[in-house]
Amino acid sequence: MSLKAATGKEKYRRAQGKKSGPRDVALELLGRGWIRGADWERSFEGLPENDRALVRNLVSGTFRQRGKIDFYLGSFLRGEPQALPDRLLNILRLAVYQLKFCDRLPDYAVVHEAVEQAKRLPGGGKLSGLVNGVLRTLLREWDSVALPAADRDPAVWLAVNYSHPLWLVRRYLGFHGFAFTEALLAANNTQAPLVVRSEEAAAGVPLEDSKLLRRFAGSGIKAGRGAYAPEALILSGNSPPPRALPGFEEGLLYLQDEAAMLPARLARPVPGSLILDLCAAPGGKITHLARLAGESAVLVAADLNPDRLAGLRENFRRLGLGGIKLYAGDARFPALRRADLVLCDVPCSGTGVMRRKPDLRWRIREEDLPALAGLQREILEAAAALTAPEGTLLYSTCSLEPEENWEVVRTFLDGHPDFRLEPADDFIDPRLVSPQGCLASYPHIHGIDGAFAARLVRKKSKRR
């Protein structure tokens, strides 16, 4: 070791204290179980500006590369990585991500911080020695580890190289083949852009005339038009956190991917109609429907969780949307009257938004899918009972899984001859329409989140 290197390491150690700042925050976030549907971006709010980007990169990057990181760790540990205590394993994962997947700190600094984090665990003396030994061995022998062979087992090769659960990769290979699956997994590992919905454009103001675009331009924020929804703005380059964007507090924008804007476009609400949203929180779709329908429409936003309804109320206030009624209740048993438009944006696996929520791939399990599909069918049944004759029932998910999408809709139509599927081509860009006539978007094909929606119309009642 050179004198210069030794001096640099010593200065670094003296400069650090007991904690490593943003890396400790990243470690906490890695160990937190995100609530299904939680806003990923809000997890980083409240951090100092100079730390926010680093923490976000460490957390999202470690989640995205976790499968590959665990594969390599398995070569340098006695036993499977998952046998380690969760926090210790996350210390190692975070360190490996920094050592091999990003260039933010010299190797000795990363190892030193991981060792210090391990020292603060129960039995830290012994564990810190394990961390130090594993990371130093990994640095020396990384290139000697043989990755799975693609020609021997394509699923294992894809799962390791693109860091996805093996069960999910096998599903996609069975449904779609190798090329589709590889492209989808690669897209899931990209950073999703920040997309906002212009409230003025949703209300019919041409985007070029919107106050929001002028506010963005005045603040040096670059915003491009979306490809499929006229109210979508895609932000590029460095921009402040969503809640610090110009126009946020004024209610000029709503943080929402373009894919999530399309169900409201497919619903095409009619002015003066009664609209129900049975799973409304956090409010993206019901607020969009309110803009599209205009002030003469009557809207009811329902959700099972009263706390989430409080968040809904805050979104309505910020957006200046009055008159939306709130209802706390189970979407399977709603005590509501029939409506002209009923939306059920059902709880789902969320596999369409894994590029935006990189922790999601490690939280969902294959055995979750049948239970979710059962819940979705129950909610759709309840929504059907609330749909007036000649009314519209919109079923939507942010899932890519057929059990949650077309299979739910097909089963429903088989049992409800009084409903018909209205082809989506007449309402949204035909490039987004599946062979069955539903909205079906994919990150690697359309450049937006994955989403599914079906427009179901109740037939006119026959006179007796």
Number of Cβ within 10 Å of residue 245's Cβ equals 22
Q: Which of 279, 344, 398, 438 is catalytic?
A: 398
Q: What is the pLDDT of residue 402?
A: 97
Kindly tell me if the per-residue pLDDT of 20 is higher than 60. no
Does residue 347 contact residue 331 with C-beta atoms inside 8 Å? Answer: no
156-196 pLDDT tens trace: 999 999 999 999 999 999 999 999 999 999 999 999 999 99
Does residue 267 contact residue 394 with C-beta atoms inside 8 Å? Answer: yes
413-454 pLDDT tens trace: 999 999 999 999 999 999 999 999 999 999 999 999 999 999
Provide the pairing of β-strand 194-198 with 232-236.
Answer: antiparallel
What percent of the chain has a predicted confidence (pLDDT) above 70? 92
| Band (3; pLDDT cuts 50, 70, 90) | very low
The CA dihedral of 281, 282, 284, 285, to the nearest 10 degrees, is 0
Kindly tell me if the per-residue pLDDT of 133 is higher than 80. yes
Kindly tell me if the per-residue pLDDT of 39 is higher than 80. no
pLDDT, greater one: 144 or 9: 144
pLDDT, greater one: 133 or 103: 133
Mean pLDDT over residues 188-206, rounded?
95
Mean pLDDT over residues 194-217, rounded?
94
Q: What is the pLDDT of residue 14?
A: 42
Mean pLDDT over residues 323-332, rounded?
92
Mean pLDDT over residues 230-237, rounded?
94
Catalytic annotation on 398? yes
Q: In 3-state terms, what secondary structure has residue 117?
A: helix
Provide the pairing of β-strand 325-328 with 298-303.
Answer: parallel
Kindly tell me if the per-residue pLDDT of 404 is higher than 60. yes
Mean pLDDT over residues 38-51, rounded?
70
Q: What's the topology of domain 194-255?
A: Alpha-Beta Plaits (3.30.70)
| Band (373; pLDDT cuts 50, 70, 90) | very high
Cα distances from 269 to residues 168, 190, 341, in angstroms, run: 36, 34, 7
Q: What type of residue is 211?
A: K
Q: In 3-state terms, what secondary structure has residue 294?
A: coil
Q: What is the pLDDT of residue 463?
A: 56
Mean confidence (pLDDT) of the chain: 91
- CATH class (in words) of the domain with range 258-458: alpha beta
pLDDT, greater one: 411 or 29: 411
- CATH class (in words) of the domain with range 3-144: mainly alpha
φ/ψ of residue 235, rounded to 5: -90, 140
Mean pLDDT over residues 201-213, rounded?
93
Q: What is the pLDDT of residue 41?
A: 66
Question: Could you state, in order of their start, the residue ranges of all structural domains in the chain?
Answer: 3-144, 154-188, 194-255, 258-458
Kindly tell me if the per-residue pLDDT of 33 is higher than 70. no
- Cα-Cα end-to-end distance for the chain: 94
pLDDT, greater one: 259 or 38: 259
Q: What is the pLDDT of residue 397?
A: 98
Q: What is the pLDDT of residue 78?
A: 84
Q: What is the pLDDT of residue 240?
A: 84
Mean pLDDT over residues 304-330, rounded?
91
What pTM value is reported for the model?
0.91
Q: What is the pLDDT of residue 15?
A: 41
